[in-house]
Amino acid sequence: MNKKPIGIFDSGVGGLTVYKEIREQFPNEDIIYFGDTARVPYGPKSKNNVIKYSIQNARFLIQQGAKIIIVACNTSSSVALPALRELVEVPVIGVIQPGVRSAIKHTINKKIGVIGTEGTIKSEAYQKAIQNLDKSCEVFSAACPMLVPLAEEGWIDHEVTHLIIAEYLSVLLQKKIDTLVLGCTHYPILKSAIKKIVGDNVNLVDSAIEVAKQLEEKIIHRGESQKGSSKFFVSDKTEKFKTIGKSIIGENVSPIQNVKLGESWYLT
Residues that bind ligand DGL (CB under 6 A): 10-12, 14, 40-43, 73-75, 117, 120, 148, 184-186
Residue 85 gets the label, from left (phi > 0), alpha (psi -120 to 50) or beta, of alpha
Q: How far apart are CA 111 and CA 86, in angstroms?
A: 34
Give the bridge partners for 31, in sequence order: 6, 230
Q: Which is nearer to ligand DGL, 5 or 183 (CB)?
A: 183
Q: How far apart are CA 27 and CA 30, in angstroms?
A: 8
CB of 71 to ligand DGL, least distance (A): 9
Angle at 224 between CA 227 and CA 257, to 5 degrees: 35
CB of 249 to ligand DGL, least distance (A): 15
Q: How many CB atoms lie within 10 A of CB 104?
A: 18
Across 27-171, where does the E strand assignment appear?
A: 31-35, 68-71, 92-93, 111-116, 138-143
Phi first, then psi, for residue 183 (nearest 5°) are: -85, 35
Q: Which is nearer to ligand DGL, 4 or 209 (CB)?
A: 209
Q: How many CB atoms lie within 10 A of CB 190?
A: 25
Check if 144 is active-site. no
CB of 209 to ligand DGL, least distance (A): 15
Q: Which of 69, 73, 180, 249 is catalytic?
A: 73
CB of 3 to ligand DGL, least distance (A): 29
Q: Which is nearer to ligand DGL, 65 or 152 (CB)?
A: 152
Q: Which is nearer to ligand DGL, 4 or 122 (CB)?
A: 122
Chain centre distance of CA 164: 21
Check if 137 is active-site. no
Contacts of 94 (CB under 8 A, 6+ apart): 71, 76, 77, 81
Q: Which is nearer to ligand DGL, 228 or 247 (CB)?
A: 247
Q: Which of 22, 95, 172, 184 is catalytic?
A: 184
Q: How far apart are CA 260 and CA 38, in angstroms?
A: 9
Q: Which is nearer to ligand DGL, 44 or 65 (CB)?
A: 44
Contacts of 7 (CB under 8 A, 6+ apart): 31, 32, 33, 34, 58, 61, 62, 64, 66, 67, 68, 69, 70, 90
CB of 184 to ligand DGL, least distance (A): 4
User: Would you please indicate which residues are annotated as catalytic (active-site) residues?
Assistant: 73, 184
